């Protein structure tokens, strides 16, 4: 019986990254389930034998091989046997950088050149069986976003084959969302979409985003700017501005409606924003995306244009913007919204570091509107309609004052 540390923990250690205990994986060679139980391990795996260490509670899996038995990523049968070697277990893994192990003396076992590919910054499949699991397509894209690595040419060919043969269509919405959210948490989330678009999977998994490529931003003002590339630049800018994946998702989806709006009508066509909202909601339903992501994305899609125009808005229009975004009741989401809007503004060549004073103005008018003591009106004894009118009048005065002060300070 031999125990090896395997997988991502080895990769991250070689990269010099910290490896949390929860991310350590172990494989046991030469043992049976009965032997593991006798040693005090507790079995938790159903489809294949996985055991919890009696002291550390870390997971230890028996070395195994697998065979494709049906479509999708669940269509596999597993064979765990004391005669299965470490190399056979590593061979079933997706990428060479994830198919390394270390023994008890910290000696590296690297039968497929994972360390070489790690040094070169290359994502390369271990074996032709790579194409049997469609999740691997998403994982490759996510690793490209996380590490900034390039996909080996032969692996790119396999990714395209997985799209052509329909294997990608077996992915369930929940798994697509897990990988997308993981990509949004990386340093280069736009790379995720680059890889998917290169192999043709973007059109199958995220058709709303794929449809933006080739669509001009505006036939009148920016005919040379491709909306798909703009959205990728916006996503990149959101990464600079915020680590919050919700902000990044809102930046990604803010312009979906442009694929359905005539370029001659852009960028301020009223139908564009509602088209975007409709597509965002459809995308979120399909992938079962959490409500907090959906709500921020919808607000951003509907109101980002109005936020860009904030410096030209009067007090009533600014107050309407606060009401539409529910800024007074949900200040944190309003902060997220402003970050997504700033990313949109900076997501153009030559504008990457341009100031966005609209955010500061929106902060100022929100604070002014929130400072109005609504309880005083409630104590006045007036009926509900009068109270609402008085609250709005007071907030309009406060917003107008904040707007005028902002102008006097020359902050525009």
| Angle formed by the axes of helices 291-308 and 331-346, nearest 10° | 60
pLDDT by residue (tens digit) across 30-46?
A: 999 999 999 999 999 77
Per-residue buried b or exposed e for 335-349, using 16+ beta carbons within 10 Å of the residue's own CB: bbbbbbbbbbbbbbe
Average pLDDT of the residues of the chain: 90
Which of 142, 149, 80, 158 minimizes the C-alpha distance to 121? Answer: 149
pLDDT by residue (tens digit) across 17-29?
A: 888 777 788 999 9
> Are the CB atoms for 333 and 240 separated by under 8 Å?
no
Q: Which stretch of 7-11, 108-112, 357-361 has the lowest confidence by average pLDDT?
A: 7-11
Mean pLDDT of 99-110: 95
pLDDT by residue (tens digit) across 389-400?
A: 888 899 999 999
Contact partners, residue 56, CB within 8 Å, separation at least 6: 21
CATH class of 121-205: mainly alpha
pLDDT tier at 162, thresholds 50, 70, 90: very high
Which of 139, 229, 154 minimizes the C-alpha distance to 192? Answer: 139
> Are the CB atoms for 11 and 4 separated by under 8 Å?
no
pLDDT by residue (tens digit) across 263-320?
A: 555 555 556 789 999 999 999 999 999 999 999 999 999 999 999 999 999 999 999 9
Whole-prediction pTM value?
0.90
For the beta carbon of residue 219, count every other beta carbon within 10 angstroms. 12
Q: What percent of the chain has pLDDT over 90?
A: 75
Q: Provide the token pair at 56.
A: 């550390």
Mean pLDDT of 220-248: 88
Please state, in angstroms and rounded to a whole number, the distance separating the CA atoms of residues 353 and 343.
10
The pLDDT value recorded for residue 40 is 95
The pLDDT value recorded for residue 219 is 46
The pLDDT value recorded for residue 222 is 54
The 3-state DSSP class for residue 102 equals strand
Any idea which fold 1-120 has?
Beta Polymerase; domain 2 (3.30.460)
The pLDDT value recorded for residue 65 is 85
The domain spans of the chain are 1-120, 121-205, 227-408
Could you tell me the CA-to-CA distances from 315 to 158, 159, 269, 329, 390 in Å, in that order? 57, 53, 23, 19, 15
């Amino acid at each position: 019986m031999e125990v090896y540390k395997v997988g991502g923990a080895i990769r991250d250690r070689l990269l010099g990254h910290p490896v949390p205990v929860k991310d350590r994986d172990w494989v046991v060679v030469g043992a049976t389930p009965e032997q593991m139980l006798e040693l005090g391990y507790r079995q938790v795996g159903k489809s294949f034998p996985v055991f919890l260490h009696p002291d550390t509670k870390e997971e230890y899996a028996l070395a195994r091989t697998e065979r494709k038995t049906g479509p999708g990523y669940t269509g596999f049968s597993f064979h765990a046997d004391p005669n299965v070697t470490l190399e056979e277990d590593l061979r079933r893994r997706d990428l060479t950088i994830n198919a390394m192990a270390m023994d008890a003396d910290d000696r590296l076992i690297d039968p497929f050149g994972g360390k070489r590919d790690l040094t070169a910054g290359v994502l390369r499949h271990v074996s032709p069986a790579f194409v049997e699991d469609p999740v691997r397509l998403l994982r490759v894209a996510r690793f490209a976003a996380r590490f900034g690595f390039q996909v080996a040419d032969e692996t790119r060919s396999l990714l395209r084959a997985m799209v052509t043969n329909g294997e990608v269509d077996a992915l369930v919405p929940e798994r697509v969302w897990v990988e997308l959210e993981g990509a949004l948490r990386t340093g280069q989330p736009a790379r995720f979409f680059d890889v998917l678009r290169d192999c043709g999977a973007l059109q199958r998994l995220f058709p709303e985003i794929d449809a933006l490529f080739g669509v001009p931003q505006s036939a009148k003002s920016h005919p040379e700017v491709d909306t798909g590339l703009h959205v990728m630049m916006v996503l990149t800018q959101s990464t600079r501005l915020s680590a919050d994946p919700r902000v990044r998702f809102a930046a990604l989806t803010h312009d979906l409606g442009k694929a359905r709006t005539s370029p001659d009508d852009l960028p301020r066509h009223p139908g564009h924003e509602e088209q975007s909202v409709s597509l965002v909601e459809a995308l979120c339903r399909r992938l079962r995306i959490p409500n907090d992501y959906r709500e921020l994305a919808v607000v951003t899609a509907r109101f980002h244009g109005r936020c860009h125009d904030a410096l030209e808005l009067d007090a009533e229009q600014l107050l309407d913007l606060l009401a539409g975004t529910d800024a007074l009741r949900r200040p944190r989401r309003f902060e997220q919204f402003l970050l997504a809007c700033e990313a949109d503004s900076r997501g153009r060549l030559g504008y990457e570091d341009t100031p966005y004073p609209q955010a500061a103005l929106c902060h100022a008018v929100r604070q002014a509107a929130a400072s109005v003591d609504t309880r005083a009106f409630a104590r006045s004894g007036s009926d509900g309609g009068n109270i609402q009118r008085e609250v709005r009048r007071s907030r309009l005065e406060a917003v107008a004052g904040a707007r005028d002060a902002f102008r006097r300070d020359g902050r525009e």
